[in-house]
Amino acid sequence: MSTRHDVKHYPGLGPLTIFFFLYLYAPLAVIVVYSFNANRVAGVWTGFSLQWYGSALKNSALMNALETSLVIAAIATVVSTLIALSAAIAIIRGKNVRFRKFSETVVNLPLLLPEIVLAVATLILFSLLDIQNGMLRLTIAHAAFCTPFAFLPIRARLQGMSLDLEEASADLYANRWTTFRRVTLPLIFPGVFSGAMLAFLISMDDFITSNLLSTGGSTTLPVYIFSLIRAGTSPELNAIATLLILASLFLATVALLVATRGTRDHAEP
């Protein structure tokens, strides 16, 4: 016996969806197109050229800012992911419900506070501690506010993991470290990787905290790009933005593939 299901139709939803995505991605498309503009004036198209990509890659100040951002983001990602992984295991596997709720609130607190408030508080703290090294200040600050971004995917993955395999490992006389290394970590690795990639992108993208805490020799890429915008837009700036878009898409694709493969492997018997 077949049952007929009526599908509701919402008039105007299709055009509204198209308009939404155009509104969201049209500015990015304009930046990509005009990064190939031969004219120095960003808004006047005169022909196709790759010269601005070469100019951007030969810009020593830009390369130094990129290197600074990569070093800070790499260290902050490792530190924040380790903290997030430890916190997720302690919270999810903990027995005290009150401890769990309180700890989750503490870990996620940077997500609830306005970034400008967190940045000013961090600046005041570093001033009181007399920490003047710009790289050190940025690394500590980035690791702090990237931790909740790394924590959320790891916690979600750990919550969806069955305890059966860990209990079976304990029944076979494996200690906690062996169980974590051989059972728990491989199963939650997609969440750990996704959290690390998210923390890396957040660190690379940060402007407010980096602008307040940076000193001479520790200018990050977003701060450098902002200095270029203040001088006026140029095709070189469009080329830089296009390269960042491509890098972000690559990292997001890799994270998605790892998460998809981990979910498929976990679902297989």
Q: Is 53 left (phi over 0), alpha (psi -120 to 50) or beta?
A: alpha
How far, in Å, CA of 265 to CA of 165, rounded?
14
**Which CATH class name applies to 55-267?**
mainly alpha
Q: What is the H or E stretch that residue 151 is in?
A: helix 134-159
- Domain ranges across the chain: 55-267
**In this predicted structure, what is the pLDDT of residue 143?**
93
pLDDT tens, residue order, the chain (269 aa): 444 444 456 677 778 888 888 888 888 888 888 888 877 776 777 778 888 888 888 888 888 988 899 999 999 999 999 999 998 888 887 766 667 777 888 888 888 888 899 899 999 999 898 888 889 999 999 999 999 999 999 998 888 777 777 778 777 777 778 888 888 888 888 889 889 988 998 998 888 999 888 887 788 988 888 887 776 666 778 888 888 888 888 877 887 787 676 555 555 54
pLDDT for the residue numbered 263: 58
179: Cβ contacts below 8 Å, ≥ 6 apart: 166, 169, 170
Q: What is the pLDDT of residue 77?
A: 94
